[in-house]
Amino acid sequence: MSDELRQGPDSGKTRLEDVLDDKKFLGHPRGVGALAAGNFFNSFAWGALYAILIYYLYSPYTQGLGFTQGQAASMVTAMGACNSIFIILGSWLADRVLGMRKALIIGNIVKGTAFGLLAIPAFSLAQGRIFAILGLFLMSLPIMGASNASLTGQLYRKADNGRRDAAFTIHTIANNIAGLIAPVLVGQIGMKNYHIGFLIAAVAAFLYGSGSVGTIYTVLGLVLAPVFVWLWTKTRATHIRTTYKYGLGILFTALGYGLLTIPIVLFKDQAPYSLLWMVFYYLFLTFSDNLVGPIGLSFVVKLSPDAYHTQMQTAWGQAGTIGNGIALVLFNFYQTADQQVNLFPIMTALLLVTALFIFVFSKNIEKDMV
């Protein structure tokens, strides 16, 4: 390592120590701002793609590609499944071959190119070529993996739990902003002209209808995430055990599902129920997301061996994918709405048991992690 890299602005500190002690971005290293911005544009681009892709695939030819609705749904589902698999390879490449920073840059260039090709009617209005374009999208994940989260974790010392937890909450804020804007902006424009919608997504990478209730969740996340950043950096809450924070997140999820159980039990014959039940459910889920997601990512950074940072981030993400797969299997047995509501009390009970386990064995878990 050269003397220039060894010495930072302060003669007694290395360049690495300068980065670890940096507080110029909202009390965090400046790199957090750049990585959060990258996370925002990445989420915006994917949100824009999924907002209109399926409609583009099955719209009549010249407006879209003319696939059947079943074929379009299968293609989008297969793409999501491939994402989950390919990101494992990308994380290995980022750790072992390319390095996290280079992997992130190259992956975004490939992804931006794919969006750009979708925006060109002369190129994308062909059923054969769409598979090549979707292949480019899928190539971006094997290249970059979970590099963004891993790079964020590298900006903090292992013991700097409070600031690292807050940094991943800043990423959550970026995701929520993108999740709020992308479906509205691209959904409105893209339904009139798909290629303009894809062009907007390309810039980010390189009809606001029945799904709008879901934006309540995004807005709540946007409002509450800064509160958690403040809690983890400016108050005594930063000293709360990480396992307690995580267990509290699981508990909030249980309370959310428990809340949805109340109208089913008490007002079974009075459906439809008030929208306020969903609003409060989303509120509890937002509390949970700001604890489970960022704290989990921070945990992974703290515990990962140096040579496996990106791969371990991917393993963490894959746990959620496995959970979603199990949920899809369960839904085969609960196909009607009347049957599906029975899942709420089951989920409440399972989550309460999980939270209780974490709280009871918190000290043992943290001792094993040292």
The CATH number that applies at residue 191 is 1.20.1250.20
In a domain, 4, yes or no: no
187 and 221 inside one domain:
no
What count of residues does the chain have?
370
User: Which domain, by its residues, includes 181?
Assistant: 16-213
Q: Residues 289-296: what's their mean pLDDT?
A: 80
Residue with the bigger pLDDT between 86 and 262: it is: 262
Q: Which two tokens stand for residue 161?
A: 């739990």
One-character DSSP codes across 192-241:
T-HHHHHHHHHHHH----GGGGGHHHHHHHHHHHHHHHHHHHHSGGGGS-
Q: Provide the pLDDT for residue 193.
A: 65
Same domain, residue pair 31 and 178: yes
Q: Which among 213, 233, 268 is the end of a domain? A: 213
Positive/negative CA dihedral, 102, 103, 109, 110: positive
Q: Are residues 203 and 281 in the same domain?
A: no
Boundary-marking domain end, from 147, 180, 213: 213
pLDDT tens digits, residue range 319-355?
Answer: 777 776 777 677 667 666 666 677 888 888 999 999 9
Instruction: Kindly state whether residues 247 and 196 are assigned to the same domain.
Output: no
CA-closest candidate to residue 290, choices 348, 357, 213, 231: 231
Asked, for residue 306, whether it belongs to a domain, the answer is: yes
Domain count, the chain: 2
What is the Rg, in whole angstroms, of the alpha carbon atoms belonging to the chain?
Answer: 22
Same domain, residue pair 140 and 67: yes
Amino acid type, 111: K
Q: What pLDDT does 251 receive?
A: 92
Q: Are residues 132 and 243 in the same domain?
A: no
Whether residue 208 has pLDDT greater than 60: no
**C-alpha triplet 247, 275, 345: angle, nearest 5°:** 45
More confidently predicted of 260 and 51 = 260
Residue 142 and residue 98 in contact, taking contact as beta carbons nearer than 8 Å: no
**Residue 2 maps to a domain:** no
Q: What are phi and psi of 22, to 5 degrees?
A: -65, 135
Q: Give 166's contacts (C-beta < 8 A, 6+ positions apart).
A: 27, 28, 228, 229, 232, 233, 294
Q: Which residues contact 156 (CB under 8 A, 6 or more apart)?
A: 20, 29, 163, 164, 167, 301
Supply the DSSP symbol for 95.
I
Same domain assignment for residues 319 and 219: yes
Same domain assignment for residues 270 and 297:
yes
- Dig out the tokens for 275 from the structure: 């929208």
The domain boundary, picked from 152, 183, 213, lies at: 213
Span 36-64, mean pLDDT? 74
Whether 200 and 220 share a structural domain:
no
| 238-277 as b/e: b if 16+ CB within 10 A | eebebbebbbbbbbbbbbbbbbbbebbeeeeeeeeeeeee
Token pair 């800043």 is at which residue?
170
- For residue 1, tell me if it sits in a domain: no
Residue 32 placed within a domain: yes
CB count in 10 Å sphere of residue 22:
16
Average pLDDT, the chain: 73
Residues 121 and 241 in one domain: no
Q: How confident is the model at residue 188 (pLDDT cuts 50, 70, 90)?
A: low
In a domain, 286, yes or no: yes
Which token pair is 268?
A: 């079974």
Residue 3 lies inside a defined structural domain of this protein: no
- On whether the CB atoms of residues 249 and 287 are closer than 8 A, the answer is yes
Q: Which comes out higher in pLDDT, residue 268 or 208?
A: 268
**What's the gap between Cα 157 and its chain centre?**
23
> C-alpha dihedral over 302, 370, 23, 297, to 10 degrees?
30
Residues 6 or more apart whose CB falls under 8 angstroms from that of 16 comprise: none
Same domain, 209 and 280: no
pLDDT value for 301: 74
Confidence at residue 124, expressed as pLDDT on a 0 to 100 scale? 64
For residue 47, which of 287, 215, 222, 221 has the smallest C-alpha distance? 215
Share of the chain above pLDDT 70, in %: 71
* Pair 177, 222 in one domain: no
SS3 61: strand
Q: Is residue 55 part of a domain?
A: yes
The pLDDT tens digits of the residues spanning 222-258 come to 677 777 777 767 777 767 777 888 888 899 999 988 8
pLDDT value at 11 more than 50: no
